[in-house]
Amino acid sequence: MSQIVLDTLIVAASVLLAISVIIALYRIVRGPSILDRMIATDVVLASIMCGLGGFMALSGRTDLLPVLIVLAMLGFVGSVSVSRYVSKSDSMTPGAEVGSLSDFSSSDWHMPKESADDAEGHSDTGARQQAQSPVGEEWPDDVARGISDVADGPDAITVQEDEEPVTVGLDQGTDPSSDPSAEPSVDPDSDAEGEVMGTGPDSGPEDSDDGERTGPEPDDDEGGRR
Amino acid sequence: MILDIISAVLILLGGVLSLAAALGLLRFGDLLSRMHASAKPQILGLLTVAVAIAIQYPAWSTVTTLAIVISFQLVTIPVATHMVGRAGYRTKHLRRSMLYRDELAEAVDRAEAREAAWERRRGSGTDHNDG
């Protein structure tokens, strides 16, 4: 009797794990963005780990325990690396491929460096950044080429029809299509247009969510990050 | 025999959690919602399976290795999920209509204002046309 219950439970667990892996594979195939595929891959990996653990518990192969560690590390490294190097060129929104290289340049590579420069002190780093100010000197070649080729990247970023326009910029509630016209209200100085055409301060609202805030003034940010 | 049934029930619970995560992946319509769903079997499902293994083979080597696995998952899964969520926020893979409140937007606005002020202070008097 108890053997029948045990077999039923084991078969049910196996079926559930198999169904979950199949559904996660469907999400990997179907997934609209690469981050969805990464999450589904994590679920597949978690299901494999659960199945392997169940196999170890039922068959006594406890020598397979390092395999669990390896699988856990594999999931962590894969998820972190994919989400680190994802850019807007991998976006599911149509039209995002136009400014892909510029969006790649506006990904979060170089922003922690600038925030570190901001944190060092304003007197000497200002002169040093003015000395480094041409694009080809300050950034790598592919990034500079992406900036010079594409006039304004986030013009091409569109949202889907069922979504609200994503508000970037300060408080004016502008959508990204009218972002360069809204930037002089953010920065009324004459440098603002040059900034928009060059690197784009619109790399700011996505890029500066944590790296910028930790950098320059960490004292008044404590309330905002909680 | 009762320990076998308990461990089998725990393995079945891990399977149920994994299925719940997969159904969440299938049905939810947003990256952040799918992240919310997918975190269940990665820690809790693996924890139940590890308890099942520890019930079956209560040796020190097995239990310590399982503790290593579980603690590794507890440390790394929030980091990985944070990275995925940050990348999703930056590349706008989220539906604004599904958010009740975007607390990160305020911090981004403040950081952007501070960066604009710093750029204005830095670039005053010069005419460089780049970044």
Hey, where are the domains in chain A?
Answer: 1-88
Candidates B2, B7, B12: best to mutate against A (most CBs of A within 10 A) is: B12
Tell me what pLDDT residue A165 has.
Answer: 57
Least confident of A196-200, B34-38, B127-131: A196-200
**What distance in Å separates residue B127's CA from the closest CA in chain A?**
7
CB A103 within 8 A of CB A151: no
Mean pLDDT of A113-140: 46
Q: For position A219, what pLDDT does the model report?
A: 46
Q: Is B99 on the interface with A (CB under 8 A)?
A: no
Average pLDDT across chain A, whole number: 63
Closest CA to B22 of A138, A17, A6: A17
Residue B8, chain A, CB below 8 Å: the answer is: yes
What local confidence, expressed as pLDDT, does residue A62 receive? 86
The pTM score is 0.59
Cβ contact, residue pair B112, A169, below 8 Å: yes
Find the range with the poorest average confidence among B3-7, B9-13, B80-84, B99-103. Answer: B99-103
Mean pLDDT within A29-53: 91
Question: How close is the nearest chain A Cα to the Cα of B25, in Å?
Answer: 7
Residue A95 has a pLDDT of 40
Sorted by sequence, the CB contacts under 8 Å of residue A203 that are 6+ apart come out as A105, A106, A111
Q: Which of B46, B104, B106 sits opposite A50 (nearest CB)?
A: B46
- Concatenating the DSSP letter of every residue in chain A gives -HHHHHHHHHHHHHHHHHHHHHHHHHHHHH-SSHHHHHHHHHHHHHHHHHHHHHHHHHH--GGGHHHHHHHHHHHHHHHHHHHHS--GGG-SSTTTTTTHHHHHHTSTTSHHHHHHHHHH-HHHHHHHHHHT-SHHHHS-HHHHHHHHH-S-GGGS----TTSPPPPBSSSS-B-GGGHHHHHHHH--STHHHHHHHTT-GGGHHHHTTTHHHHSS--STTHHHH-
Among B50, B92, B127, the residue with its CB nearest the CB of A53 is: B50
Give which of A159, A155, A139 is closest to A147, Cα–Cα: A139
* Cβ contact, residue pair B80, A79, below 8 Å: yes
The domain in which residue B12 lies consists of: 1-95
- B129 found inside a domain: no
- Residue with more model confidence, A46 or A92: A46
Q: Do A93 and B116 make contact, defined as CB atoms within 8 angstroms?
A: no
Residue B82 lies in a domain: yes
**Of A47, A69, A186, which is closest to B18 when you measure between CB atoms?**
A47
More confident site: A3 or A86 = A3
Mutation site, B92, B95, B102, interface A, largest A CB count within 10 A: B92
Residues of A in contact with B84 (CB under 8 A): 35, 38-39, 79, 83
Chain B contact set for A88 (CB, 8 A): 91-92
What's the rounded mean pLDDT across residues B34-62? 91
Interface mutation target, options A68, A123, A157, chain B, most CBs of B under 10 Å: A68
Binned at pLDDT 50, 70 and 90, residue A101 comes out as: very low
**CB-CB contact of A41 with B84 (8 Å):** no
Task: Among A129, A133, A213, select the one facing B107 at the smallest CB separation.
Answer: A213
Report the gap between the CA of B101 and the closest CA in chain A (Å): 13
A86 confidence band (pLDDT: 50, 70, 90) = confident
| pLDDT (mean) for B10-21 | 94
Q: How far apart are CA A20 and CA A26, in angstroms?
A: 10
Which percentage of chain A shows pLDDT scores above 70?
A: 38
A21-30, A168-177, B91-100: least confidently modelled range:
A168-177
Task: Taking residues B113-128, report their average pLDDT.
Answer: 78
Question: Is B55 within a domain?
Answer: yes
A48-72 pLDDT tens trace: 999 999 999 989 888 999 999 999 9
- Total domains present in chain B: 1
Specify the higher pLDDT residue, B18 or A157: B18
Span A118-145, mean pLDDT? 47
Q: Quick one: pLDDT at residue A110?
A: 38
